[in-house]
Structure 1
Amino acid sequence: MSALSILLVEDHLPIAGQVTDFLQGHGWQVDHARTGQQALTLAATNPYHLVLLDLNLPDMDGVEVCEHIKQSAEINMPILMLTARDSFEDKAMGFGHGADDYLTKPFDLRELVLRCQALAKRNDLHHNKLLELGDLRIDTTQKAAWREEQILTLTSIGFKILVLLAQAYPNPLSRSALLHQIWGDALPDSDALKSHIYSLRNELDKPFASPMLKTITNVGYKLDV
Protein backbone atom coordinates (compact mmCIF):
# COMPACT_ATOMS: atom_id res chain seq x y z
CA MET A 1 0.00 0.00 0.00
CA SER A 2 1.29 3.49 -0.85
CA ALA A 3 2.11 5.98 1.90
CA LEU A 4 -0.98 7.35 3.59
CA SER A 5 -1.63 10.97 4.49
CA ILE A 6 -3.41 11.17 7.83
CA LEU A 7 -5.00 13.93 9.90
CA LEU A 8 -4.69 13.18 13.62
CA VAL A 9 -7.10 15.18 15.77
CA GLU A 10 -6.00 14.76 19.40
CA ASP A 11 -5.59 17.35 22.15
CA HIS A 12 -3.62 15.07 24.51
CA LEU A 13 -0.04 15.72 23.43
CA PRO A 14 1.61 12.53 24.80
CA ILE A 15 -0.92 10.36 22.91
CA ALA A 16 -0.58 12.51 19.79
CA GLY A 17 3.20 12.17 19.93
CA GLN A 18 3.11 8.40 20.29
CA VAL A 19 0.62 7.94 17.45
CA THR A 20 2.45 10.37 15.15
CA ASP A 21 5.85 8.74 15.73
CA PHE A 22 4.48 5.24 15.18
CA LEU A 23 2.62 6.11 11.97
CA GLN A 24 5.52 8.12 10.57
CA GLY A 25 7.66 5.06 11.24
CA HIS A 26 5.56 3.34 8.56
CA GLY A 27 6.41 6.08 6.09
CA TRP A 28 3.04 7.83 6.45
CA GLN A 29 2.52 11.59 6.54
CA VAL A 30 0.74 12.82 9.67
CA ASP A 31 -0.69 16.30 10.31
CA HIS A 32 -1.76 17.04 13.87
CA ALA A 33 -4.66 19.20 15.03
CA ARG A 34 -5.28 19.91 18.73
CA THR A 35 -8.75 21.42 18.31
CA GLY A 36 -11.85 20.76 16.27
CA GLN A 37 -11.52 24.07 14.45
CA GLN A 38 -7.93 23.31 13.44
CA ALA A 39 -9.11 19.95 12.16
CA LEU A 40 -11.85 21.50 10.04
CA THR A 41 -9.41 24.00 8.56
CA LEU A 42 -6.89 21.29 7.65
CA ALA A 43 -9.54 18.91 6.29
CA ALA A 44 -10.94 21.67 4.07
CA THR A 45 -7.61 22.19 2.31
CA ASN A 46 -5.97 18.73 2.30
CA PRO A 47 -7.31 15.51 0.72
CA TYR A 48 -6.30 13.12 3.50
CA HIS A 49 -6.57 9.37 3.11
CA LEU A 50 -7.79 9.10 6.71
CA VAL A 51 -8.84 11.16 9.72
CA LEU A 52 -8.09 9.85 13.23
CA LEU A 53 -10.47 11.74 15.47
CA ASP A 54 -10.61 12.03 19.25
CA LEU A 55 -14.09 12.90 20.54
CA ASN A 56 -13.09 14.89 23.62
CA LEU A 57 -11.74 18.11 22.15
CA PRO A 58 -11.36 21.42 24.00
CA ASP A 59 -13.49 23.55 21.67
CA MET A 60 -16.18 21.23 20.22
CA ASP A 61 -17.40 17.66 20.32
CA GLY A 62 -15.61 15.30 17.95
CA VAL A 63 -18.97 14.06 16.66
CA GLU A 64 -19.63 17.58 15.32
CA VAL A 65 -16.22 17.57 13.64
CA CYS A 66 -16.96 14.19 12.06
CA GLU A 67 -20.33 15.26 10.70
CA HIS A 68 -18.97 18.55 9.35
CA ILE A 69 -16.10 16.84 7.51
CA LYS A 70 -18.45 14.24 6.01
CA GLN A 71 -20.86 16.92 4.83
CA SER A 72 -18.39 19.46 3.46
CA ALA A 73 -15.34 17.57 2.16
CA GLU A 74 -15.08 17.32 -1.61
CA ILE A 75 -13.83 13.74 -1.35
CA ASN A 76 -14.76 11.00 1.09
CA MET A 77 -12.23 10.91 3.92
CA PRO A 78 -12.72 7.85 6.14
CA ILE A 79 -12.90 8.78 9.83
CA LEU A 80 -11.65 6.50 12.59
CA MET A 81 -12.81 7.66 16.01
CA LEU A 82 -10.32 7.25 18.86
CA THR A 83 -11.99 7.68 22.23
CA ALA A 84 -12.46 6.41 25.75
CA ARG A 85 -16.24 6.47 25.20
CA ASP A 86 -16.90 2.76 24.92
CA SER A 87 -20.65 2.29 25.41
CA PHE A 88 -22.82 0.93 22.63
CA GLU A 89 -24.78 4.19 22.57
CA ASP A 90 -21.61 6.20 22.03
CA LYS A 91 -20.53 3.93 19.19
CA ALA A 92 -23.98 4.02 17.59
CA MET A 93 -23.95 7.83 17.72
CA GLY A 94 -20.49 7.95 16.16
CA PHE A 95 -21.38 5.61 13.30
CA GLY A 96 -24.68 7.41 12.83
CA HIS A 97 -22.89 10.70 12.29
CA GLY A 98 -20.53 9.35 9.66
CA ALA A 99 -17.69 7.52 11.44
CA ASP A 100 -16.22 4.64 9.44
CA ASP A 101 -14.59 2.85 12.35
CA TYR A 102 -14.22 3.14 16.12
CA LEU A 103 -11.28 2.28 18.37
CA THR A 104 -11.49 2.69 22.13
CA LYS A 105 -8.62 3.92 24.29
CA PRO A 106 -6.25 2.50 25.33
CA PHE A 107 -5.43 0.76 22.05
CA ASP A 108 -2.55 -1.16 20.52
CA LEU A 109 -0.75 1.00 17.94
CA ARG A 110 -0.29 -2.08 15.77
CA GLU A 111 -4.07 -2.52 15.62
CA LEU A 112 -4.44 1.15 14.71
CA VAL A 113 -2.16 0.58 11.70
CA LEU A 114 -4.19 -2.44 10.58
CA ARG A 115 -7.44 -0.49 10.83
CA CYS A 116 -5.96 2.43 8.90
CA GLN A 117 -4.85 0.10 6.12
CA ALA A 118 -8.27 -1.59 5.97
CA LEU A 119 -10.13 1.72 5.82
CA ALA A 120 -7.86 3.11 3.12
CA LYS A 121 -8.27 -0.06 1.05
CA ARG A 122 -12.06 0.00 1.44
CA ASN A 123 -12.17 3.66 0.47
CA ASP A 124 -10.17 2.96 -2.70
CA LEU A 125 -12.69 0.27 -3.63
CA HIS A 126 -15.57 2.68 -3.05
CA HIS A 127 -14.02 5.20 -5.43
CA ASN A 128 -14.37 2.71 -8.25
CA LYS A 129 -16.96 3.61 -10.85
CA LEU A 130 -18.52 0.17 -10.44
CA LEU A 131 -19.77 -0.74 -6.95
CA GLU A 132 -20.74 -4.33 -6.21
CA LEU A 133 -22.37 -5.46 -2.97
CA GLY A 134 -23.71 -9.00 -3.05
CA ASP A 135 -26.23 -9.19 -5.91
CA LEU A 136 -26.35 -5.38 -6.20
CA ARG A 137 -24.32 -3.68 -8.92
CA ILE A 138 -24.07 0.10 -9.35
CA ASP A 139 -22.44 1.90 -12.25
CA THR A 140 -21.86 5.50 -11.18
CA THR A 141 -20.83 6.56 -14.70
CA GLN A 142 -24.02 5.31 -16.34
CA LYS A 143 -26.03 6.22 -13.22
CA ALA A 144 -27.62 2.78 -13.35
CA ALA A 145 -28.11 -0.03 -10.85
CA TRP A 146 -29.02 -3.70 -11.10
CA ARG A 147 -30.02 -6.34 -8.57
CA GLU A 148 -29.87 -9.99 -9.60
CA GLU A 149 -29.12 -8.57 -13.07
CA GLN A 150 -32.49 -6.79 -13.15
CA ILE A 151 -32.28 -3.07 -13.91
CA LEU A 152 -33.64 -0.88 -11.11
CA THR A 153 -35.85 2.04 -12.08
CA LEU A 154 -34.65 4.81 -9.78
CA THR A 155 -35.18 8.55 -9.55
CA SER A 156 -32.07 10.74 -9.57
CA ILE A 157 -32.33 11.26 -5.82
CA GLY A 158 -33.05 7.58 -5.21
CA PHE A 159 -29.89 6.74 -7.14
CA LYS A 160 -27.87 9.26 -5.08
CA ILE A 161 -29.16 7.72 -1.85
CA LEU A 162 -28.26 4.23 -3.06
CA VAL A 163 -24.72 5.30 -4.02
CA LEU A 164 -24.15 7.04 -0.68
CA LEU A 165 -25.33 4.00 1.24
CA ALA A 166 -23.18 1.70 -0.90
CA GLN A 167 -20.12 3.88 -0.32
CA ALA A 168 -20.77 3.90 3.44
CA TYR A 169 -21.24 0.10 3.57
CA PRO A 170 -21.08 -1.68 5.97
CA ASN A 171 -21.77 1.35 8.17
CA PRO A 172 -25.05 3.26 8.39
CA LEU A 173 -25.61 6.86 7.38
CA SER A 174 -27.58 9.19 9.60
CA ARG A 175 -30.64 10.99 8.28
CA SER A 176 -28.91 14.34 8.72
CA ALA A 177 -25.86 13.17 6.77
CA LEU A 178 -28.04 11.97 3.89
CA LEU A 179 -30.03 15.21 3.87
CA HIS A 180 -26.92 17.39 3.73
CA GLN A 181 -25.08 15.28 1.16
CA ILE A 182 -28.07 15.24 -1.18
CA TRP A 183 -29.58 18.69 -0.73
CA GLY A 184 -26.76 20.71 0.86
CA ASP A 185 -28.04 23.76 2.70
CA ALA A 186 -31.35 23.79 0.79
CA LEU A 187 -32.91 21.18 3.07
CA PRO A 188 -36.41 19.94 2.19
CA ASP A 189 -39.19 19.29 4.67
CA SER A 190 -38.77 16.35 7.02
CA ASP A 191 -40.92 13.95 4.99
CA ALA A 192 -38.94 14.27 1.74
CA LEU A 193 -36.20 11.84 2.71
CA LYS A 194 -38.74 9.31 4.03
CA SER A 195 -40.60 9.50 0.74
CA HIS A 196 -37.45 8.84 -1.31
CA ILE A 197 -36.40 5.99 1.01
CA TYR A 198 -39.87 4.45 0.58
CA SER A 199 -39.60 4.64 -3.22
CA LEU A 200 -36.05 3.24 -3.18
CA ARG A 201 -37.12 0.37 -0.94
CA ASN A 202 -39.99 -0.50 -3.29
CA GLU A 203 -37.58 -0.83 -6.18
CA LEU A 204 -34.56 -2.30 -4.39
CA ASP A 205 -36.23 -4.74 -2.01
CA LYS A 206 -39.85 -5.59 -2.70
CA PRO A 207 -39.33 -7.61 -5.89
CA PHE A 208 -36.62 -9.73 -4.22
CA ALA A 209 -36.48 -12.40 -1.52
CA SER A 210 -34.30 -10.56 1.01
CA PRO A 211 -34.33 -6.84 1.89
CA MET A 212 -31.09 -4.85 1.58
CA LEU A 213 -32.18 -1.41 2.80
CA LYS A 214 -32.42 -1.43 6.58
CA THR A 215 -33.66 1.28 8.94
CA ILE A 216 -31.46 1.63 12.04
CA THR A 217 -33.60 3.04 14.85
CA ASN A 218 -32.47 6.47 16.05
CA VAL A 219 -29.54 6.38 13.62
CA GLY A 220 -30.48 6.28 9.94
CA TYR A 221 -30.18 3.75 7.12
CA LYS A 222 -27.72 1.14 5.87
CA LEU A 223 -27.38 -1.54 3.22
CA ASP A 224 -27.27 -5.12 4.47
CA VAL A 225 -25.70 -7.75 2.21
Structure 2
Amino acid sequence: MKILLVEDDAALAKGLKHALERAGVLVTLAVDGLTADYLVSTERYDAVVLDLGLPDGSGIQWLGSWREQGIDLPVLILTARERWSDKAAGFSAGADDYVTKPFETAEVLFRLRALVRRANGHAHPVISVGDIALDTHAGQVTRTGMPVALTAQEFRLLSCLMHASPRIVSRSELCEHVYDGDQEPDSNVIDVQVSRLRRKLGNNAIETLRGQGYRMANGSEPS
Protein backbone atom coordinates (compact mmCIF):
# COMPACT_ATOMS: atom_id res chain seq x y z
CA MET A 1 0.00 0.00 0.00
CA LYS A 2 1.25 3.46 -0.94
CA ILE A 3 -0.31 6.48 0.72
CA LEU A 4 0.07 10.26 0.78
CA LEU A 5 0.12 11.74 4.29
CA VAL A 6 -0.84 15.44 4.35
CA GLU A 7 0.01 16.79 7.80
CA ASP A 8 1.83 19.98 8.88
CA ASP A 9 2.38 18.98 12.52
CA ALA A 10 5.98 17.77 12.31
CA ALA A 11 5.92 15.57 15.41
CA LEU A 12 2.62 13.92 14.56
CA ALA A 13 3.60 13.41 10.91
CA LYS A 14 6.95 11.88 11.85
CA GLY A 15 5.41 9.48 14.35
CA LEU A 16 2.58 8.38 12.07
CA LYS A 17 4.85 8.01 9.05
CA HIS A 18 7.30 5.88 11.02
CA ALA A 19 4.54 3.66 12.43
CA LEU A 20 2.91 3.10 9.04
CA GLU A 21 6.25 2.33 7.41
CA ARG A 22 6.97 -0.24 10.12
CA ALA A 23 3.72 -1.92 9.03
CA GLY A 24 5.00 -2.09 5.44
CA VAL A 25 3.21 0.97 4.06
CA LEU A 26 4.99 3.31 1.65
CA VAL A 27 4.39 6.87 2.86
CA THR A 28 4.97 10.16 1.06
CA LEU A 29 4.68 13.22 3.30
CA ALA A 30 3.27 16.59 2.25
CA VAL A 31 3.19 19.45 4.77
CA ASP A 32 0.74 21.69 2.92
CA GLY A 33 -2.15 21.52 0.49
CA LEU A 34 -0.27 22.89 -2.50
CA THR A 35 2.35 20.12 -2.33
CA ALA A 36 -0.37 17.52 -1.82
CA ASP A 37 -2.30 18.91 -4.79
CA TYR A 38 0.75 18.49 -7.02
CA LEU A 39 1.44 14.97 -5.77
CA VAL A 40 -2.09 13.59 -6.19
CA SER A 41 -2.09 15.02 -9.72
CA THR A 42 1.23 13.49 -10.75
CA GLU A 43 1.72 10.33 -8.65
CA ARG A 44 -0.30 7.19 -8.04
CA TYR A 45 -1.44 6.47 -4.47
CA ASP A 46 -3.77 3.94 -2.90
CA ALA A 47 -5.14 6.46 -0.41
CA VAL A 48 -4.63 9.88 1.20
CA VAL A 49 -4.51 10.69 4.91
CA LEU A 50 -5.54 14.34 5.08
CA ASP A 51 -5.36 16.76 8.00
CA LEU A 52 -8.05 19.44 7.96
CA GLY A 53 -5.93 22.24 9.44
CA LEU A 54 -3.28 23.05 6.83
CA PRO A 55 -1.21 26.26 6.55
CA ASP A 56 -2.50 27.09 3.05
CA GLY A 57 -6.19 26.36 3.33
CA SER A 58 -8.61 23.88 4.79
CA GLY A 59 -8.14 20.23 3.96
CA ILE A 60 -11.83 20.22 3.04
CA GLN A 61 -11.19 22.85 0.37
CA TRP A 62 -8.32 20.88 -1.14
CA LEU A 63 -10.36 17.68 -1.04
CA GLY A 64 -13.29 19.36 -2.76
CA SER A 65 -10.96 20.56 -5.50
CA TRP A 66 -9.58 17.05 -6.04
CA ARG A 67 -13.06 15.57 -6.34
CA GLU A 68 -13.99 18.26 -8.87
CA GLN A 69 -10.90 17.25 -10.88
CA GLY A 70 -12.05 13.62 -10.86
CA ILE A 71 -9.39 12.41 -8.42
CA ASP A 72 -11.30 9.62 -6.72
CA LEU A 73 -8.73 7.85 -4.54
CA PRO A 74 -9.86 7.06 -0.96
CA VAL A 75 -9.34 9.87 1.58
CA LEU A 76 -9.12 9.40 5.34
CA ILE A 77 -9.45 12.67 7.24
CA LEU A 78 -7.54 13.46 10.43
CA THR A 79 -9.34 16.02 12.55
CA ALA A 80 -9.16 17.48 16.05
CA ARG A 81 -12.68 18.80 15.56
CA GLU A 82 -15.28 16.67 17.30
CA ARG A 83 -18.39 18.53 16.15
CA TRP A 84 -20.59 16.53 13.81
CA SER A 85 -20.98 19.54 11.50
CA ASP A 86 -17.22 19.52 10.82
CA LYS A 87 -17.24 15.81 10.08
CA ALA A 88 -20.32 16.21 7.87
CA ALA A 89 -18.52 18.92 5.90
CA GLY A 90 -15.65 16.49 5.28
CA PHE A 91 -17.98 13.77 4.03
CA SER A 92 -19.82 16.29 1.84
CA ALA A 93 -16.51 17.31 0.27
CA GLY A 94 -15.78 13.70 -0.65
CA ALA A 95 -14.05 12.11 2.35
CA ASP A 96 -14.42 8.36 2.77
CA ASP A 97 -13.67 8.08 6.49
CA TYR A 98 -12.25 10.09 9.38
CA VAL A 99 -10.25 9.65 12.58
CA THR A 100 -10.43 12.13 15.45
CA LYS A 101 -7.22 13.25 17.17
CA PRO A 102 -5.76 11.93 19.38
CA PHE A 103 -5.88 8.53 17.74
CA GLU A 104 -4.23 5.13 17.86
CA THR A 105 -1.94 4.48 14.92
CA ALA A 106 -3.37 0.97 14.63
CA GLU A 107 -6.80 2.47 13.99
CA VAL A 108 -5.46 4.59 11.14
CA LEU A 109 -3.80 1.53 9.63
CA PHE A 110 -6.94 -0.61 9.89
CA ARG A 111 -9.10 2.11 8.37
CA LEU A 112 -6.64 2.65 5.51
CA ARG A 113 -6.52 -1.06 4.73
CA ALA A 114 -10.32 -1.19 4.72
CA LEU A 115 -10.60 1.83 2.43
CA VAL A 116 -8.11 0.46 -0.07
CA ARG A 117 -9.71 -2.97 0.02
CA ARG A 118 -13.20 -1.58 -0.62
CA ALA A 119 -11.94 0.74 -3.34
CA ASN A 120 -10.81 -2.37 -5.16
CA GLY A 121 -14.16 -4.10 -4.71
CA HIS A 122 -13.33 -6.36 -1.75
CA ALA A 123 -15.74 -6.36 1.19
CA HIS A 124 -14.03 -9.07 3.26
CA PRO A 125 -10.67 -8.40 4.97
CA VAL A 126 -9.27 -11.66 3.56
CA ILE A 127 -8.73 -11.63 -0.21
CA SER A 128 -8.40 -15.07 -1.80
CA VAL A 129 -7.27 -15.95 -5.31
CA GLY A 130 -7.06 -19.68 -5.89
CA ASP A 131 -5.35 -21.26 -2.89
CA ILE A 132 -3.59 -18.02 -1.90
CA ALA A 133 -5.14 -15.82 0.80
CA LEU A 134 -4.09 -12.32 1.85
CA ASP A 135 -5.31 -11.17 5.27
CA THR A 136 -5.33 -7.39 4.89
CA HIS A 137 -5.88 -6.79 8.62
CA ALA A 138 -3.16 -9.10 9.89
CA GLY A 139 -0.80 -8.44 6.98
CA GLN A 140 -0.30 -12.18 6.46
CA VAL A 141 -0.31 -14.49 3.44
CA THR A 142 -1.19 -18.17 3.38
CA ARG A 143 -1.18 -20.84 0.68
CA THR A 144 -3.51 -23.81 1.18
CA GLY A 145 -3.88 -22.58 4.74
CA MET A 146 -0.17 -22.57 5.51
CA PRO A 147 1.61 -19.29 6.30
CA VAL A 148 4.05 -17.95 3.70
CA ALA A 149 6.99 -15.79 4.84
CA LEU A 150 7.46 -12.80 2.53
CA THR A 151 9.78 -9.81 2.58
CA ALA A 152 8.20 -6.36 2.79
CA GLN A 153 8.70 -5.78 -0.93
CA GLU A 154 7.31 -9.19 -1.85
CA PHE A 155 4.27 -8.55 0.34
CA ARG A 156 3.60 -5.15 -1.25
CA LEU A 157 3.92 -6.60 -4.75
CA LEU A 158 1.61 -9.52 -4.01
CA SER A 159 -0.85 -7.24 -2.25
CA CYS A 160 -1.00 -4.99 -5.31
CA LEU A 161 -1.64 -7.95 -7.61
CA MET A 162 -4.28 -9.52 -5.37
CA HIS A 163 -6.18 -6.27 -4.78
CA ALA A 164 -6.22 -5.69 -8.54
CA SER A 165 -7.08 -9.26 -9.58
CA PRO A 166 -8.17 -10.19 -12.23
CA ARG A 167 -6.88 -6.95 -13.75
CA ILE A 168 -3.43 -6.89 -15.37
CA VAL A 169 -0.98 -4.69 -13.45
CA SER A 170 1.78 -3.02 -15.44
CA ARG A 171 5.43 -3.16 -14.40
CA SER A 172 5.47 0.62 -13.84
CA GLU A 173 2.45 0.45 -11.53
CA LEU A 174 4.05 -2.34 -9.53
CA CYS A 175 7.25 -0.31 -9.18
CA GLU A 176 5.26 2.63 -7.83
CA HIS A 177 3.58 0.44 -5.21
CA VAL A 178 6.68 -1.50 -4.16
CA TYR A 179 9.40 1.15 -4.03
CA ASP A 180 9.71 4.62 -2.55
CA GLY A 181 9.43 7.50 -4.97
CA ASP A 182 13.08 8.48 -4.53
CA GLN A 183 14.29 4.97 -5.39
CA GLU A 184 15.22 4.03 -8.93
CA PRO A 185 15.03 0.23 -9.13
CA ASP A 186 16.82 -1.68 -11.87
CA SER A 187 14.76 -2.48 -14.94
CA ASN A 188 14.49 -6.18 -14.07
CA VAL A 189 13.81 -5.82 -10.34
CA ILE A 190 10.09 -6.59 -10.68
CA ASP A 191 10.90 -9.73 -12.67
CA VAL A 192 13.21 -10.83 -9.87
CA GLN A 193 10.55 -10.20 -7.20
CA VAL A 194 7.93 -12.08 -9.22
CA SER A 195 10.31 -15.02 -9.61
CA ARG A 196 10.82 -15.11 -5.83
CA LEU A 197 7.08 -15.03 -5.23
CA ARG A 198 6.58 -17.90 -7.66
CA ARG A 199 9.10 -19.98 -5.76
CA LYS A 200 7.11 -19.42 -2.57
CA LEU A 201 3.58 -19.54 -3.97
CA GLY A 202 3.90 -21.88 -6.95
CA ASN A 203 5.15 -21.40 -10.49
CA ASN A 204 1.65 -20.80 -11.81
CA ALA A 205 0.57 -18.31 -9.14
CA ILE A 206 1.42 -15.20 -11.16
CA GLU A 207 0.89 -14.89 -14.89
CA THR A 208 3.19 -12.82 -17.13
CA LEU A 209 1.57 -11.08 -20.08
CA ARG A 210 4.31 -9.94 -22.39
CA GLY A 211 4.27 -6.21 -23.01
CA GLN A 212 1.39 -5.69 -20.55
CA GLY A 213 2.43 -6.76 -17.06
CA TYR A 214 1.35 -9.35 -14.51
CA ARG A 215 -1.79 -10.73 -12.90
CA MET A 216 -2.80 -13.39 -10.45
CA ALA A 217 -3.42 -16.60 -12.34
CA ASN A 218 -5.15 -18.83 -9.77
CA GLY A 219 -8.77 -18.34 -10.75
CA SER A 220 -10.41 -15.63 -12.78
CA GLU A 221 -11.97 -13.78 -9.85
CA PRO A 222 -10.89 -13.08 -6.27
CA SER A 223 -13.18 -13.98 -3.40
Higher relative contact order (CA 8 A, sep 6+): 2
The answer as to whether partners of 1:47 and 1:77 remain within 8 angstroms in 2 is no
* Cα separation, 2, equivalents of 1:56 and 1:66: 12
Q: Alpha-carbon deviation of 1:117?
A: 0.6
Paired position in structure 1 for 2:111: 115
**One-letter amino acid of the counterpart of residue 79, structure 2:** T
Shift of 1:71: 2.1
Q: Does 1:61 align with 2:55?
A: no
1:8 equivalent in alignment to 2:5 = yes
TM-score (norm. length: structure 2)? 0.53
1:82 matched to 2:78: yes
Calculate the TM-score normalised by the size of structure 1.
0.53
What is the deviation of 1:70?
A: 1.8
1:52–1:81 contact (8 Å) kept in structure 2: yes
Cross-structure match for 1:106: 102
RMSD: 1.2
Looking at structure 2, the residues matched to 7 and 96 of structure 1 have their Cα atoms a distance apart, in angstroms, of 21
5+ residue gaps, structure 1 = 127-225
The separation in 1 between residues aligned to 2:70 and 2:102, in whole angstroms, is: 29
Name the structure 1 match of 2:47. 50
Change (3 A) 1:73 1:27: farther
What is the one-letter code of the residue matched to 2:62? Answer: V
Q: Cα deviation per residue 1:73-109 (whole Å; 9 max; x = unaligned)?
A: 45x2100000101111001110001000011000000
Given the alignment of the two structures, is residue 25 of structure 1 paired with residue 22 of structure 2, yes or no? yes
Cα distance in 1, alignment partners of residues 68 and 29 from structure 2: 21
Task: Note the alpha carbon deviations across 1:88-137, whole angstroms, 9 max, x for none.
Answer: 100111000100001100000011110001000110018xxxxxxxxxxx
How far the C-alpha of 1:12 sits from its partner, in A, is 0.3
Residue by residue, what CA displacement relative to the aligned partner does 1:44-70 show, whole Å, maximum 9, x if unpaired?
011210000000000111001111122
Q: Is the 8 A contact 1:43 1:73 kept in 2?
A: no
Hey, what's the Cα distance between the residues in 1 that align with 2:10 and 2:70?
26
Alignment pair present for 1:34 and 2:25: no
Give every structure 1 segment of 4 or more consecutive aligned residues whose post-TM-superposition deviation is greater than 3 Å.
Answer: none
